[in-house]
Amino acid sequence: MKLDPCKFCGGVAGTPRDDQIERDAWVASVDCTGCEITVTMQYSCDSPQRAVECIGEMWNSKPAARL
Ligand SMILES: [Zn+2]
Protein backbone atom coordinates (compact mmCIF):
# COMPACT_ATOMS: atom_id res chain seq x y z
CA MET A 1 0.00 0.00 0.00
CA LYS A 2 1.25 3.46 -0.85
CA LEU A 3 1.22 5.80 2.12
CA ASP A 4 0.22 9.44 1.69
CA PRO A 5 2.51 12.25 2.82
CA CYS A 6 2.17 13.18 6.48
CA LYS A 7 -0.97 15.22 7.18
CA PHE A 8 0.95 17.39 9.61
CA CYS A 9 4.30 18.17 7.98
CA GLY A 10 4.02 16.74 4.45
CA GLY A 11 6.92 14.42 5.21
CA VAL A 12 7.38 10.86 4.06
CA ALA A 13 5.77 8.08 6.08
CA GLY A 14 8.11 5.46 7.48
CA THR A 15 7.75 1.74 6.92
CA PRO A 16 4.81 0.30 8.89
CA ARG A 17 5.84 -1.82 11.85
CA ASP A 18 3.82 -4.74 13.11
CA ASP A 19 3.84 -5.92 16.70
CA GLN A 20 2.42 -9.12 18.06
CA ILE A 21 0.62 -8.38 21.31
CA GLU A 22 -1.00 -11.76 21.86
CA ARG A 23 -0.78 -15.19 20.27
CA ASP A 24 -3.24 -14.22 17.53
CA ALA A 25 -3.46 -10.46 17.90
CA TRP A 26 -1.36 -7.95 16.01
CA VAL A 27 -1.18 -4.20 15.93
CA ALA A 28 0.81 -1.93 13.63
CA SER A 29 2.11 1.61 13.67
CA VAL A 30 3.60 4.13 11.23
CA ASP A 31 6.07 6.85 12.11
CA CYS A 32 6.54 10.01 10.11
CA THR A 33 10.14 10.53 9.02
CA GLY A 34 9.67 14.31 9.04
CA CYS A 35 8.08 14.97 12.43
CA GLU A 36 7.28 13.19 15.68
CA ILE A 37 3.91 11.80 14.60
CA THR A 38 3.18 8.13 15.14
CA VAL A 39 -0.10 6.56 14.10
CA THR A 40 -0.89 3.47 16.15
CA MET A 41 -3.81 1.10 15.99
CA GLN A 42 -6.23 1.14 18.90
CA TYR A 43 -7.39 -2.39 18.16
CA SER A 44 -5.75 -5.59 16.97
CA CYS A 45 -5.97 -7.71 13.85
CA ASP A 46 -5.52 -11.46 13.48
CA SER A 47 -2.47 -11.29 11.22
CA PRO A 48 0.50 -8.96 10.71
CA GLN A 49 -0.46 -8.50 7.06
CA ARG A 50 -3.93 -7.36 8.03
CA ALA A 51 -2.55 -5.07 10.74
CA VAL A 52 -0.21 -3.35 8.27
CA GLU A 53 -3.11 -2.99 5.83
CA CYS A 54 -5.23 -1.40 8.53
CA ILE A 55 -2.56 1.01 9.64
CA GLY A 56 -2.00 2.06 6.03
CA GLU A 57 -5.68 2.87 5.65
CA MET A 58 -5.64 4.73 8.94
CA TRP A 59 -2.59 6.78 8.00
CA ASN A 60 -4.10 7.71 4.64
CA SER A 61 -7.47 8.68 6.06
CA LYS A 62 -7.47 10.23 9.51
CA PRO A 63 -4.31 9.94 11.58
CA ALA A 64 -5.26 9.51 15.21
CA ALA A 65 -2.02 11.16 16.21
CA ARG A 66 -1.36 12.63 19.57
CA LEU A 67 1.04 15.51 19.84
ZN1 LIG B 1 5.07 14.48 9.72
- The pLDDT value recorded for residue 64 is 52
Higher pLDDT, 10 or 65: 10
- Give 66 Cα–ligand 1 centroid separation in angstroms: 12
List the domain boundaries for the chain: 1-67
- The pLDDT value recorded for residue 1 is 84
| d(C-alpha 11, C-alpha 48), whole Å | 25
- Please name which of 37, 38, 39, 50 lies closest in space to residue 9, comparing C-alpha atoms: 37
For the chain, the average pLDDT equals 91
- Give 24 Cα–ligand 1 centroid separation in angstroms: 31
Answer yes or no: pTM beyond 0.95: no
CB hemisphere CA count around 22 (13 angstroms): 6
